[in-house]
């Protein structure tokens, strides 16, 4: 064979095979994640796709990509959007902000103090808590 007589060609072939294997493993993980992320399939359909992808890896991947590959990007984008929304909600809950700045909160506290609904001591305690 030509690759054995030229060591550089042998190295190139080995790198090509290694790259193809890594690409196949990555694609296998992406497809399996997409199978479980898909909400439009029932449990039996997911099990059938999973068995098909794991038993006949190359053919199963190709068939899955042909049959359901068009919506993989949409499902992935929907999942990323959902995670971003959850993270934003978590940050809002943790930061205790509803769009109001500390200056607005201090103005509300001052108005409450001026109306007599909050004592000076309560006002100072709330102000210290806001400014921390």
- CA dist 128 and 132 (Å) reads 6
Classify residue 70 by its DSSP letter.
G
- The least confident of 31-35, 44-48, 101-105, 119-123 is 101-105
Instruction: Please answer whether residues 41 and 75 qualify as being in contact, where contact means their C-beta atoms are separated by less than 8 angstroms.
Output: no
Same structural domain for residues 21 and 84? yes
Token match 């060591």: residue?
7
pLDDT at residue number 107: 85
pTM: 0.57
Query: Which 8-state DSSP code applies to residue 6?
Result: -
Task: Please give the pLDDT value at position 21.
Answer: 95
Say whether both 51 and 108 belong to one domain: no
In whole angstroms, give the CA distance from residue 110 to residue 116: 10
- Residue the block writes with tokens 């809950």: 93
Nearest C-alpha neighbor of 106 from the set 90, 126, 86, 79? 126
Half-sphere exposure of residue 120: CA atoms within 13 angstroms, side-chain side: 0
| Structural domain of 107 | 101-132
Residue 22 pLDDT: 96
pLDDT tens digits for 106-125? Answer: 888 888 888 888 888 888 88
Overall number of domains in the chain: 2
> Are 61 and 117 contained in the same domain?
no
The mean pLDDT value of the chain amounts to 86
């Amino acid at each position: 064979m030509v690759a054995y007589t030229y060591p550089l060609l042998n190295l190139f072939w080995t790198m090509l095979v290694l790259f193809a294997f890594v690409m196949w493993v990555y694609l296998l993980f992406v497809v399996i994640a997409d199978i479980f992320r898909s909400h439009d399939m029932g449990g039996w359909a997911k099990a059938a796709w999973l068995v098909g992808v794991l038993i006949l890896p190359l053919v199963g991947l190709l068939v899955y990509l042909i049959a359901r590959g068009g919506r993989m990007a949409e499902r992935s984008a929907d999942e990323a959007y959902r995670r971003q929304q959850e993270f934003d909600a978590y940050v809002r809950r943790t930061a205790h902000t509803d769009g109001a700045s500390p200056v607005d909160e201090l103005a509300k506290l001052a108005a409450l103090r001026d109306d007599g609904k909050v004592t000076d001591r309560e006002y100072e305690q709330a102000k210290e808590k806001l400014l921390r």
